[in-house]
Amino acid sequence: MTDFVARLHAIVGDKGLITDDQGKHPFLTDWRENYLGTALAIVRPATTEEVAAVVKLCAAEKVAIVPQGGNTGMSGGGTPHEEGREIVLSLTRMNRILEIDKVGYTMTVEAGVVLKTIQEAAADADRLFPLSLGAEGSCTIGGNLSTNAGGVQVLHYGNARNLVLGLEVVLPDGEIWNGLRALKKDNTGYDLRDLYLGAEGTLGIITKAILKLWPKPKDHATSWSAVPSPQAAVELLSSAYAASEDNVTSCELMGRQGIDLVLQHIAGTSDPLADKHDWYVLMEWSSARPASVGDNAAGLRDKMEAYLGEAMEKGLVLDAVIAQTEAQSKALWALRENHTEASKKEGPSIKHDISVAVSKIPPFVPEGLAAMTKALPGCRPLVFGHVGDGNLHFNCQAPAGWSKPQFMQHGDAISGAIYDLVTAYGGSISAEHGIGRIKVHELEHYRTKIELDVMRSLKRALDPQNLMNPGKVIQIQ
């Protein structure tokens, strides 16, 4: 054991340190298996004070730190580099829910709590924590806040940034900033909290958070509609806001290619409609008002049925089903949530987590599809995502049977074509997955000099030794 590792051990003990190759491996590679790094050790502190002591030691020894939560990130931000002096600092032992304030609608948690655990604790208290995404069974709230995660309910509740009131952060010099304030209003100077949200571990380590809660929905309606085009999807959503009395909580678009992959690779899934169609919309309406109360006796399901009937008459919907039970609703959601898993099982793919204004989705989609297939004839576009936020996963699946190295030779041409188009539409090259390691060069290319200069100034000021997740998000020369 080196002297440095021995000093880490003195802080976190046996339970908090992994140094053998087999034990380290899962922390050194990302979910997509794009990277495989090395680390002096995997350090798993149990308290904020232990995190602070580890960070102080690393600052003194000039060892870089890669914070990690559930390691489900899509951009390689939580994976160490192939060479260099780094530790992975995993927050997963800091997994306690500290307080639920039912009256104030808040929950205080440690950074390593798994998102699903938070959702369940909120539901048990008759409240809702609305962040919801496919990786919710393993991603952590610290990772969610550090990536400013999105997911499937952003159009109603906002992304992770909108779901938090206060933070506790260990700064790059090991000092602890206690910003755990449950305040809805606080205009006392620059907003430090917002700096750390979406910073992907490059400015400090989030150790605790005060989250916002909402009333638990008591009435739900889930529909699966075949639509003729993305244009129809956007129009369907546009009029659903009023028809649902502002209760649209999810609106997801999927192309047929993705459904075919899910049906092929994910056991227990089935096509809800008799015929195949090019595009589908999964819509969820939910409300805290129970269906049986007063003049609301009809409930959201009846309202949705009437609404979809009218949409069919207008030609916006070709065929549709509405879930009659929770199990049916879950089965529809499984078709959507398993896209990422099914794509991984199918083989290599390139992800483009893009956003444009919702009203620009209809022209963007056919232009984007044409650009992708021009860049690599024979590639398989896999388009799905959060159309209600203007955020599509405009992904590209390799031609059947291609190896990853063979496919990746075309990566720059494919991604360049999509990102140039997104930029021409005034959109974003990273809507919800962050920059991490995978888009560092794209950020340099697509953001203006002034934006990059401000980002670099912030990074240099807050992390002068460049030890906090270096090489991620923004390069410091």
134 counts as binding ligand MLT under rule CB under 6 A: yes
105 binds, among ligand MLT, ligand FAD, none (CB under 5 to 8 A by kind): none
A 10 A CB-CB count for 388 gives 27
439 binds ligand MLT (CB under 6 A): no
| Residue 230 or 385 having the CB closest to ligand MLT | 385
Interaction of residue 385 with ligand MLT, rule CB under 6 A: yes
Query: Among the candidate windows 143-151, 240-248, 394-402, 443-451, which touches ligand FAD by CB under 6 A?
Result: 143-151
Least CB distance from residue 230 to ligand FAD, whole Å? Answer: 19
Each as own residue / partner, the long-range contacts of residues 327-333 (CB below 8 Å, 24 or more positions apart, any chain) are 328/222, 329/220, 329/222, 329/284, 331/269, 331/270, 331/272, 332/222, 332/224, 332/272, 332/282, 333/222, 333/282
- Check binding of 158 to ligand FAD (CB under 6 A): no
Q: Are 52 and 176 in contact (CB under 8 A)?
A: yes
Name the maximum alpha-carbon separation found in the chain: 74
Q: State the virtual CA torsion across 195, 136, 300, 227 in degrees, nearest 10.
A: 90
Closest to 350 measured CA to CA, from 424, 303, 419: 419
**If we measure between CA atoms, which residue out of 63, 68, 65 comes closest to residue 27?**
68
Among 212, 351, 380, 472, binds ligand MLT (CB under 6 A): 351
**150, 198, 390, 427: residue in contact with ligand FAD (rule CB under 6 A):** 150
Quote the least distance from Cβ 311 to ligand FAD, whole Å.
26
Between 87 and 126, how does the x/- string for binding to ligand FAD read (CB under 6 A)? ----x-------------------x---------------
Tell me the C-alpha distance between 421 and 2, whole Å: 51
Enumerate residues 172-211 that contact ligand FAD by CB under 6 A: 200-201, 205-206
Q: Given candidates 68, 257, 340, 397, which one binds ligand MLT under the rule CB under 6 A?
A: 340
For residue 396, which of 409, 381, 407 has the smallest C-alpha distance? 381
Interaction of residue 127 with ligand MLT, rule CB under 6 A: no
Q: Which residues lie across from 215 on neighbouring strands?
A: 127
Taking alpha carbons only, the member of 168, 157, 177 closest to residue 210 is: 168
Q: Which is nearer to ligand FAD, 304 or 396 (CB)?
A: 396
Residue nearest to ligand MLT (CB): 340
DSSP 36: B
At 11, is the secondary structure helix, strand, or coil? helix
Q: Catalog residues that contact ligand MLT under the rule CB under 6 A.
A: 134, 339-340, 351, 353, 385, 393, 395
Q: Catalog residues that contact ligand FAD under the rule CB under 6 A.
A: 31, 66-74, 77-78, 91, 111, 133-135, 139-140, 142-144, 146-147, 149-151, 200-201, 205-206, 340-341, 432-433, 436, 469, 472
